[in-house]
Every structure is written in C-alpha cells, then in structure tokens.
Structure 1
Amino acid sequence: MSTIPTHTRPQFTWLFLAVRRADLCDKPHRINVTAPDERAARRLLARDFVFSFAGRIPAGEMLI
C-alpha cells in the first residue's frame, strides 16, 4: 500500500522587495525565498540585503 507523504512543516515561497547592502545605486527588486516560515526566510537574506516583506505563496503542487 502506498502512502502520501504529509509535511509537518509546509514550505512557502516568500516574496521580498530588496536592495543589496553593498551597492549604493541598487534599485529595489523582488527576491523569492522558499522556507517554512518568514523568520527562516529573513535569516537567509539578512546578510546581503535590506528588504521588506511583499507576500507569501504556498510552495509545491496545488490540488484542484
């Protein structure tokens, strides 16, 4: 019998509007990060970017 794996921590695609810290002339652009929560997504970007939250999209397949 086959079982369908269930994720206890669903993944999301987090959207941020960001500028690179090292580039004074950088224009704001969208950055996508896949992570289970916003805090983890922010940790991935904090070293290189100054950013603002723009949205969250469920990652993975959508069932109709």
Structure 2
Amino acid sequence: MSDHITPISGRDSLTPKKYQYRFLALSRADAAARPCRVSIEAATEQEARRALAPLFILSLAARLPAQEAHHA
C-alpha cells in the first residue's frame, strides 16, 4: 500500500477541532473591576487559558463548538 492516497475528506482529523471557550474573568490590572465574560476560540482549554491568563483570573464557564464559515 505504498501508493495509498488519503482522500481530501479524510484529512479533517489532521487539523485540530476548534472550540469557543467562555470564561468568567476578573481583570488582573484592576482590583475593583467587576467580573466579565471573555470568549476565545482555541483547540484546547490549556491553549485558551495560556492566551488569557496574563490579563485575567479565569473560571471556565463553557466549551462550545466553533462556528465554521459557510460560503454561498
């Protein structure tokens, strides 16, 4: 099977699936700030936290499938 070619439809597993992570967040810069909702699209929760942790103290609220673009 050295001539095996993967069909285009079978390549979806090579790209990580993205999710929208939503967090309840507190600003690290402003101690008087009220909690707010922050959303970010990432493949994993760790990736999402890594991007937001320098700015916010985070509490996970939801993980939702990312909306894929549909072209007409």
TM-score normalised according to structure 1 size: 0.82
Corresponding position of 1:35: 42
Q: How many residues align?
A: 59
Q: Which amino acid aligns with 2:49?
A: R
- Cα-to-partner distance string for 1:19-59 (whole Å, 9 max, x where unaligned): 11010110001000100000000000110100100001100
Identity of counterpart residues, as a percentage? 39
Structure 1: runs of 5 or more not aligned: none
Q: Larger radius of gyration, structure 1 or 2?
A: 2
Relative to its length, the structure with more strand (as a share) is 1
Per the alignment, in what secondary structure is the counterpart of residue 6 of structure 1? Answer: helix
Relative to its length, the structure with more helix (as a share) is 2
